[in-house]
Structure 1
């Protein structure tokens, strides 16, 4: 009978420093894992399992060469869509405040409020590394900030869609008098631009994999430039 051995998990001092997460002491996957190991780890409890199953996002970001830039890019990947998607809402609120009075329930529904709260909480969790920073090693598998960040992001998206549907219902008549309905050509053109933009982003980051220096391959069981570090627990 065919049996598969699950990949060995490592502690923080057994992986290169670039892979360290604040407050996460164990449950790390081996950086040189094979494709089979990566698939098997999706069904093994590691400190990334919950993240893997809460969303599937293909990423390569310059993590090894420029971890600081990678952090900025990952943050911008969430900040930019949030600001872009909410420009109509911010514009509407700006008009209301500019008049010196409230526009009532239609300006900021309950779903809008929940959405903005979840968005702020998502950013806070991503930047603060709480609660694992307060108790290193206690939240390696369940409950660390990246998992909570995913949950808040999903909830925020849900409330955002609920708010959009509420806006469509309450403002359909007004919108119909302001702008003509978007036809098939406009819909296809918008979809095409989105697809082309995404393909360009994927192509740019894929090309960087071939142009950038490969400094992370294991050499004699260790990693180039890695020194043995014994953290204090």
Structure 2
């Protein structure tokens, strides 16, 4: 059956527009104006995006399974203590799904490429907030519970998620609305765009992990919450650092351009390390949740709907608004260009 399906062709770097080119990747590019069908068919051939899709699409189902397990096996409707875990697991499902969709359909056009990655950035910001909500409920060291930092931790994380989405979207196009969305195109200022995206995702992560870093690296004596979970938190922190390192350096393909085009380039390794880190993070959160339940019930502030589901819903709505704000010029400029072409054609006929 597969022999009867004509798979779309692949191209070299000099055959695609600069906006679609990746640093040190020479071959394996899909057509920059692929149809949706071509994008889906390309998942079953080896291109430089194939493993980017599958390394996030398959883990989505694993995280969805974990989410459904919690929903079915715990009393999530009345037990508020489970709500932070639910919010976190939901964000774990959303970010790899958004990423796999972005990598699948980003070659339909320049406009679709921008919009796909806008949603990808919004999903990553949502995951950052989901992590912060879970950390606030289960991970904050004993000595910091009910402190001023603990009280304002989630509200600041909500603000960080909004700023993160805004900065990441800005890194591609600049601030709309304007009739020329290529004014600040990533293809024209790639280094600035890369730096802005690194900042957009690294600073929320560093803020979210302040209580964890203090707990496992700095705190000594009473109130440090030293338990067997700390080892898993260290694994997660190491993999998170490795994930950021791969994203920022484009290693190993930068050392040998063309050698890792299809298998082994930095973005694939970035996905694998990120998902592995999320797995260890999830295990650590579940263990902290179980081991600390009694103590947190007696000493920590009550978990509220507003501080969990309400916080992530607010962030989601605002992020969607930001994505629409940045996407509007792409549709507007396309419509304006088509109108200009029609008017020009009509004038030539007259």
Deviations 1:15-39 (A, max 9, x none): 2233332321110111122222222
RMSD over aligned Cα atoms: 3.3
Partners of 1:86 and 1:46 in 2: CA distance:
36
| SS class of match (2:239) | helix
The partner residue of 2:311 within 190, 194, 205 is 190
Structure 2 gap ranges (5+): 57-96, 100-115, 119-168, 174-181, 336-350
Deviation at 1:83, TM superposition (A): 2.6
Please tell me whether the aligned partners of residues 215 and 225 of structure 2 are also in contact (alpha carbons under 8 angstroms): no
Segments of 5+ residues of structure 1 without an aligned counterpart are 215-233
Report the Cα distance in structure 2 between the residues aligned to 1:104 and 1:180, rounded to whole angstroms: 17
- Residue 224 of structure 1 is matched in structure 2 by none
- Verify the 8 A CA contact 1:93 1:107 in the aligned structure 2: no
- Cross-structure match for 1:89: 212
Corresponding position: 1:128 with 2:129: no
Q: Could you say what secondary structure the match of 1:59 adopts?
A: helix
Q: Hey, what's the Cα distance between the residues in 1 that align with 2:29 and 2:214?
A: 44
Aligned structure 1 segments of 4 or more residues deviating by more than 6 angstroms: none
Structure 1 or 2: more helix by fraction: 2
Question: How far did residue 159 of structure 1 move?
Answer: 1.0
Q: 1:118 aligns with which of 224, 233, 239?
A: 239
Larger deviation, residues 192-201 vs 122-131: 192-201
The number of equivalent residue pairs is 213
- Mean Cα deviation higher: 145-154 or 101-110: 101-110
By how many angstroms is 1:96 displaced?
A: 1.6
- What's the TM-score, normalizing by structure 1? 0.76
CA deviation profile, 1:29-52 (whole Å, cap 9, x unmatched): 111222222222122210001111
Q: Which residue of 2 aligns with 1:50?
A: 51
For the residues of structure 1 that align with 2:209 and 2:318, how far apart are their CA atoms? 20
* Deviation of the 1:111 alpha carbon: 0.5
Distance 1:24 1:116 in 2: 29
| Alignment TM-score, normalising by the size of structure 2 | 0.53
